[in-house]
Amino acid sequence: MKFNVGFYDFNADTGMNFQLNRFYSMGILDYEEVKEIGQKADDFEKWISLFTEKGKEEEIKGNHLKAALCYRAAQFYTLNTKEDENGHNLKRELYEKCMEQYDAHYRSVDAIQYVRIPFKNGYLPVYYVKPENPKSVIVLHGGYDSLIQEFLEFLVYFGELGYEVYFFEGPGQGEVLMRCGIQMTPHWEHCTSVVLDHFNLNNVTLIGVSLGGYLAPKAAVYDNRIQRVVMFDLIYDFYGAITNKMGEKKAKFFDYMTAHPRNILWKWLDKKLNENYFMKWLLGQGYAIYENVHTPCEYFNCIKQYNTRELSSHIKQDVLVLAGEADLYTIYYEDQLKALTNARSVTGRLFTKEECADHHGQIGNVQLVLDTIMNWIEEKTNGEESGN
């Protein structure tokens, strides 16, 4: 598949525009299709309706991948709510429609294999490709509220280049959350070790996408079978990056409030946050994804745990740190590089607007970032074949 290049003004809302570009970048929808939806989606309800209808149209045509992406886009901004009186839950129903279409497409690709590894009271889904005489082993995972299927073209990309590649979902992600009910904790080393054990993997490159920029390094601290770590992108301080974007006064206010969970102002703040659809959606995502999070105060205190400030000095592997100039997490780019004091090697790449790759996850030029990762892996492994 050919990834689309360019970051466009599809919608006036910054968040919606980023998501539209994210879906466009994968090369599944063409420019005019995304532009049309972007121009009409003037609120979240309209977004959900437009993408749902587009999904139905593509499903009827038998365009499984397009249908899946559209159902996923609709499901993305749907609120996490309980079942209604008729037993319906729109977010869950859209997820299942999305998965049905993804399965119809990817399960027919002979090179891609799928397995469920037992984990806690559920399982970890893993898609993988295992060519003959692979160059080396790559293990990938996503981040916050990600679906493995959204990134399966990454697996195809590395597989076609001769790598043995495994892409898994962990707690709080995709099937593990939606079908097994297992929520996310900061202890990512637990699920990663289960995947490495199951396939008997060693000398691994671990790539963490988005919030995976924290999760992958966390796993690497505890497992020396991981020899190379890619922060795609860096998450040096999840909470700090978000509050920094609020401005100094609001950031100090949130620092104070999160330190005083019983402050009476939380009732007022909770009400104010829930009056805004985006914030209601954002917090609802957090309540669904994170373990033991039910209030705004618990949410903001929870995300404080997701930082590499405290673990970077314990990382001893080769590390690749990726960032985009326009990404809110990039304020910590230099801090992240300096914090890796005991890493075997540290390589950083800051992507620019001129490269159409300056946003989170290098949305706008996915091909460039994948090529960057591949070249780095080649350099660090010297093209050695896998011992697995």
Task: Record the tokens describing residue 363, joined without a space.
Answer: 């949305």
Task: Record the tokens describing residue 332, joined without a space.
Answer: 């910590």
Q: How far apart are CA 158 and CA 232, in angstroms?
A: 15
Find the angle CA(225)-CA(120)-CA(288) to the nearest 5 degrees.
105
pLDDT tens digit sequence for 112-166: 999 999 999 999 999 999 998 899 999 999 999 889 999 999 999 999 999 999 9
- Asked if residues 322 and 231 have their Cβ atoms less than 8 Å apart, the reply is yes
313 domain-assigned: yes
Find the angle CA(117)-CA(374)-CA(322) to the nearest 5 degrees.
90
259 domain-assigned: yes
The domain tally of the chain equals: 3
Residues 6+ away with beta carbon under 8 Å from 202: 137, 196, 225, 387, 388
Q: Rounded to an integer, what is the distance from CA 38 to the centroid of its chain?
A: 22
Domain limit, last residue, from 38, 71, 104:
104
- Asked if residues 148 and 217 have their Cβ atoms less than 8 Å apart, the reply is no
Q: Find where tokens 């699920």 sit.
A: 191
Per-residue confidence band for 384, with pLDDT thresholds at 50, 70 and 90: low
pLDDT of residue 383: 56
Q: How far apart are CA 93 and CA 54, in angstroms?
A: 16
pLDDT of residue 1: 67
> Worst-scoring range by mean pLDDT, 84-88, 185-189, 260-264, 285-289?
84-88
Same domain, 281 and 324: no
- State the sign of the Cα–Cα–Cα–Cα dihedral 234, 284, 282, 30: positive
- State the sign of the Cα–Cα–Cα–Cα dihedral 309, 310, 311, 316: positive
Q: How many CB atoms lie within 10 A of CB 27?
A: 15
312 domain-assigned: yes
pLDDT of residue 387: 46
3 domain-assigned: no
Per-residue confidence band for 110, with pLDDT thresholds at 50, 70 and 90: confident
From the list 234, 245, 233, the residue with the least C-alpha distance to 282 is 245
Q: How far apart are CA 98 and CA 105, in angstroms?
A: 11
From the list 348, 347, 344, 340, the residue with the least C-alpha distance to 313 is 340
3-state helix, strand and coil shares in percent for the chain, rounded to the nearest 5: 50, 15, 35
Kindly tell me if the per-residue pLDDT of 295 is higher than 80.
Answer: yes
* pTM flag (> 0.85): yes
Same domain, 150 and 195: yes
**What's the domain range around 85?**
14-104
* DSSP H or E stretch at residue 263: none
Same domain, 137 and 94: no
112 domain-assigned: no
- Torsion angle of C-alpha atoms 90, 91, 95, 98, degrees rounded to 10: 60
Same domain, 134 and 211: yes
Domain limit, last residue, from 104, 129, 163:
104
pLDDT tens digit sequence for 242-282: 999 889 999 999 899 999 999 999 999 888 888 899 999 99
Farthest CA pair distance, the chain:
63
pLDDT of residue 73: 97
Give the mean pLDDT of the chain.
94
From the list 157, 218, 77, 220, the residue with the least C-alpha distance to 368 is 157
- Asked if residues 315 and 338 have their Cβ atoms less than 8 Å apart, the reply is no
9 domain-assigned: no
The residues facing 126 across adjacent strands are 115, 168
Helix (H, G, I), strand (E, B) or coil at 222: helix
pLDDT of residue 308: 97
Same domain, 284 and 341: no
- Asked if residues 23 and 74 have their Cβ atoms less than 8 Å apart, the reply is no
In the chain, % of residues over pLDDT 70: 97
Query: CATH number, domain at 25?
Result: 1.20.1440
18 vs 25, 94, 261, 324, CA distance in Å?
10, 21, 32, 13
Q: Find where tokens 């992600």 sit.
A: 173
5 domain-assigned: no
| Helices and strands in the chain, H and E counts | 16, 8
What is the identity of the amino acid at 17?
N
Q: How far apart are CA 74 and CA 211, in angstroms?
A: 22
Q: How far apart are CA 192 and CA 206, in angstroms?
A: 9
Q: Compute φ and ψ for 56, nearest 5 degrees.
A: -65, -45
Average the pLDDT over 8-36 and give the result: 96
388 domain-assigned: no
pLDDT tens digit sequence for 32-86: 999 999 999 999 999 999 999 999 999 999 999 999 999 999 999 999 877 666 7
Q: How many CA atoms lie within 13 A of 180 on its CB side?
A: 22
- Asked if residues 320 and 345 have their Cβ atoms less than 8 Å apart, the reply is no
Same domain, 199 and 338: yes
